[in-house]
Chain A
Amino acid sequence: MKSHILAAATTVLVGTAMAGSVQAQDQAVDFDGKRIEMIVPFKAGGATDVYGRFFAGKLSEHLPGNPTVVVSNIPGAGGMPGANQFEARAEADGTTLIAMTVSTQLNWLFEDPAAQFDLKNWRPLILTPQREVALVHTDTGATGPQDIKALQDVELRYADHSVRGLSIFRLLGFDGLGLDVTPVWGVSGGPARIAMERGEITLAFASSAAYRKDYASMVDNGVVTPIFSYGDLDADGNVVRDATFPDLPTYLEVYKEINGKELAGPERALYEMHLQFTGASKSLFLPADTPDAVYDAYVAAIQAILDDPAYAEENARFFGEHRQAVGEQAKANLAQALDLNDELKSHLSGWLKQKYDLDL
């Protein structure tokens, strides 16, 4: 009897203590005097690093207590060592966050043995899209989207970074349009653009930022022409035309035009997954098990950065015209992006093996 009372008393005590700590968490998210580490799993000066640093200084101003935010670059191996370190040593108290890029997420998705982290449990703060367009050289005879049918008879040389990553989705898309594409790996970004200008490469993709910076003048000079955009998602998750390229048909429109039917089946699911990934081109995460109060404080800070009129010009230049997914929205989008079931996966790897003799 006595022991029962003791047990009950203990339960009450522990219960109160726990409730107390939960309450403490609720009210006291304050990073005053703290040093927050942002892990960037890439080299200083790279695109992910620039993204991280864009936020680092501003987070310091907008998080409660104005903590110092320092960037730690842990480069190499497609971002995996950095992500692994984040998984291994980040405390779930908001003092460590990570800036991610889509290729590292795809390594996780395709179960690279080196990816020793559980992306599904991390808490996404913001997903920043880089919507894409496909362009061809005018030497191919194409002058716009209406010429895609004619392009089926042309051998296209396509530049991309590596087999691993979003390039598989892009190749699958070209195949859906019946295009004859020879990939040239190891050429991307600026070098790809120059190769396009030389006419060595005849098919490339560009994010809207890269389009504006690199390709717009070439389009004006008639050297290259965009043939379709991969589209964008509206607030309800429908595929719509990319706001940056309102006159350019989306992949879905072009597909229907060429094949006489809507894109469906596993190809459709993979296309939407591709869209979710370009929607998460760059992102920020807190570790798994971060308390809601801390997570909410971060989400509020990021929302404040996006809405701050003082940054309006800078933000517009940095983010372009695409919707940023913050907090709950980020969580929902990421869930769809990471939902590669066995059936889709075997479809993708089977296609890759048969078409290009490559392993996923």
Chain B
Amino acid sequence: MDVWITALDALTTLFSVGHFSYLLLGVFVGLIVGILPGLGGLAGLSLLLPFVFGMEPSQALAMMVGLLAITTTSDTFPSVLMGIPGTSGSQATVMDGFPMARRGEAARALSAAFGASLFGGVFGALVLSVAILFARPLILMMGFGEQLMLVLFALTMVGILTGSHPLKGLAACGVGLIMGAIGFATSTGELRMALGQTYLYDGFPLLIIAIGLFAIPEIFEILAQKQSISSSTQQQKLGRGIGEGLRDVIRHKWLVLRCSGIGALIGMLPGLGGVVIDWIAYGHVVQTAKDKSQFGKGDIRGVLAPESANNAKEGGSLVPTLLFGVPGSATMAVLLGGLVLVGIEPGTSMVQENLDLTYTIIWSLALANIVGTLVCILLVRPISKLTTIPYGYIGPVVIVIVFFAAFQATRDWLDLIALFGVGMLGVYMKRFGWSRPALLIGFFLSKGLEDSVYQAVQIYGFSFLERPIVLGLIAVIVLSVTITFLRARKSPRPDTGQGAATRSVRVHQMAFLLVFAALCLWAFGDALQRSYLARIFPLGASLATGALLAVIAYRFVRGGPEDAIHYDEVRTGEGRRALNVYTLWLVAFLGGIYLLGFVLASGVFVLAMIVYELRRLNWQGAVVAVTVSALLLVLSQVLNLRFPPSLLQPILPLLS
């Protein structure tokens, strides 16, 4: 009964003016950083940390949790409206949310996402309030062997997300595994494939991979079509789908419940981290759906699943954070720092003498989700109007936003170069039908896979395979793979409708494949120089990927002209020219940043590109350009940011 009294006390405290206003402040900041692509809960918390110091603990908690709770909701705006993952936890939402926006159903997609987020968030808070008292033994049961199985389970989702062709999907996953092996090897401390760059010591930043793969290709595609995001015939129904979206949540209530459960559970367990949860939920909905034909083209279920899961995750990952002081995700790690700053040491005390603070956190989580969702739903109508503006205005601004977001990864020049490289990879992967989610999942799980194999074997030898939970998880993995395989065999081959592959298509395909092949060769050569423990993983990954690539290459050459492996979105000379032109624009932007600095170059770039896209110079374009530069300037002052150094910097320190 004491628990209930403490819980109620915490709730009444939270509703006092002081606490509630801090909660709202957190929600407000979270709303903004969530909407800005690239900035998520992590950046928001870092922004608040200086003020947290010395605050009254329960007020600081209300503010920090309020912020965290809302970012996973508001990050849906860029995912759905621009096709840019708002934070690294909302990539899967892009898959179906953005196609819906392009059909003119942005409002429906958004409100469905917010409804699902609300449910997931409150569900997560509920799970947290119960699990905090009972989850200890569960977490203690998840040893290194069990964690390895969780990673393997997450990896099986690749089978569902292979895109237009299974072989290409698996190879893309292999490429992801190889890219994830760049940097320090845990087992020996050796550096792999770092090219002598400190930038690569910790591997590629996840943010760069996520934004590069998903945002740049979409921007190119819409720019090339010279339209607004939602096509003009659909615009009259824009903003009218809010009620429809909320009804979608109710219609698919069991799906939302299941995915919330998945999110909360995986968030709680050690070993996976927050980023793949939305993909696991997405994989789950595709796997269990009877009619899969609309996934990737704007199926509402593809929005509901990841959104409910990634909000429920927050409650789940607070369990290990509070009980053991072990952060369940990168965001939780910052929250943990915040807790220490206000003088709270997480641990068993959180369910004993600090139980009141734990309940403050739980109530804040629930309240912030409710308040935040309401605010977001109010914003749906005005913000979805963005999709009707000609993309000639939006596109250049989005490119600046994307580069700004990428620069937040480590604030190094190489962030921008890496974004460009990964972006190009994404553009051609999209063009030739190589699954980008498969690469991302491979990349993200690479380190976890290698490390947990190493650790499990180091501790148990191979006897970890005899542990009961490990066996149970193996059964789940086998089941998941079997279902995927059986369903794939039953479903009819999708017709790409592209007609026979010409010789020129085959040549282009092969040229891009050689990029991946070169990566494999490089990884293979690098691995040979390492000691046994650091070698085995990249060696295995590059050999397997190389074998897949060889099979694909063979089919490029010998496969019949109707073979789906020849998938190529851009078969006209005109289309290919457009890709090259936009590539040059990005190169020019990078050059501009180097010369003029980020703030000035952004304005100039936006203006120049608007003029190019609209074939005329007008005052609207000038206003947009000046606004972009001014906003960047303000942001850099408020966030204490340094932009990449430029040639002009010594002369005009403020502007560049």
Contact = CB atoms under 8 A, between A and B. Distances in A.
Contacts of B325: 190, 213-214
A198 B140 contact: yes
B188 A163 contact: yes
Given A76-B410, A162-B184, A357-B531, A81 B334 contact: no
Contact of B201 (A45, A53, A76, A194): A76
Interface string A47-72: 00110011011000000000000111
Q: What is the interface residue range for chain A against chain B?
A: 35 or more
A317 B343 contact: yes
Given A186-B186, A186-B454, A198-B140, A114 B333 contact: no
A43 B324 CA distance: 21
Interface string A75-102: 1111011001000000000000000000
B25 interface: no
A78 B201 contact: yes
B337 interface: yes
B53 A213 contact: no
Nearest to B145: A200
A46 B326 contact: no
B337 A200 contact: no
Contacts of B139: 194
A44 B640 CA distance: 13
A305 interface: no
Contacts of A113: 196
Interface in B258-288: 270
A197 B142 CA distance: 11
A78 B191 CA distance: 13
Contacts of B53: 53-54, 57
B340 interface: yes
Given A53-B50, A71-B50, A76 B337 contact: no
B198 interface: yes
A141 to B, nearest CB: 19
Contacts of B54: 57
Contact of B198 (A114, A201, A214): A114
A358 B334 contact: no
Contacts of A45: 45-46, 49, 333-338
A345 interface: no
A185 B333 CA distance: 20
Contacts of B336: 45
Nearest to A46: B337
A200 B459 contact: yes
Contacts of B184: 162
Contact of B186 (A57, A162, A200): A162
B135 to A, nearest CB: 12
B348 A164 contact: no
A359 B187 CA distance: 12
A353 to B, nearest CB: 11
B334 A44 contact: yes
Contacts of B348: 217
Contacts of A358: 188-189, 531
A184 B458 contact: yes
B337 A44 contact: yes
A157 interface: yes
A181 B324 CA distance: 26
A195 B143 contact: yes
A198 B42 CA distance: 31
A200 B145 CA distance: 10
Contacts of B410: 74-76, 81
Interface in A163-201: 163-164, 182, 184-187, 189-191, 193-195, 197-198, 200-201
A73 interface: yes
B454 A162 contact: no
Contacts of A201: 459
Interface string B320-339: 00001111000001111110
B46 A44 contact: yes
B215 to A, nearest CB: 22
Contact of A193 (B144, B186, B202, B324): B324
Contacts of B45: 44-45
8 contacts: A45-B337, A54-B53, A77-B202, A80-B201, A184-B455, A194-B140, A200-B144, A358-B189
Interface of B: 42, 45-46, 49-50, 53-54, 139-140, 143-144, 184, 186-190, 196, 198-199, 201-202, 270, 324-327, 333-338, 340-341, 343, 345, 347-348, 410-412, 451, 454-455, 458-460, 531, 640, 642
Those 4 A-B pairs whose CB atoms lie nearest each other, nearest first? A45-B337, A190-B326, A163-B189, A45-B334
Interface of A: 43-46, 49-50, 53-54, 56-57, 70-78, 80-81, 84, 113-114, 157, 162-164, 182, 184-187, 189-191, 193-195, 197-198, 200-201, 213-214, 217, 314, 317, 357-359
Given A45-B338, A71-B50, A314-B343, 19 more contacts: A44-B337, A45-B336, A49-B49, A49-B337, A53-B53, A56-B50, A70-B50, A72-B640, A73-B46, A77-B202, A80-B201, A81-B199, A81-B412, A157-B459, A162-B189, A185-B189, A185-B454, A186-B454, A195-B144
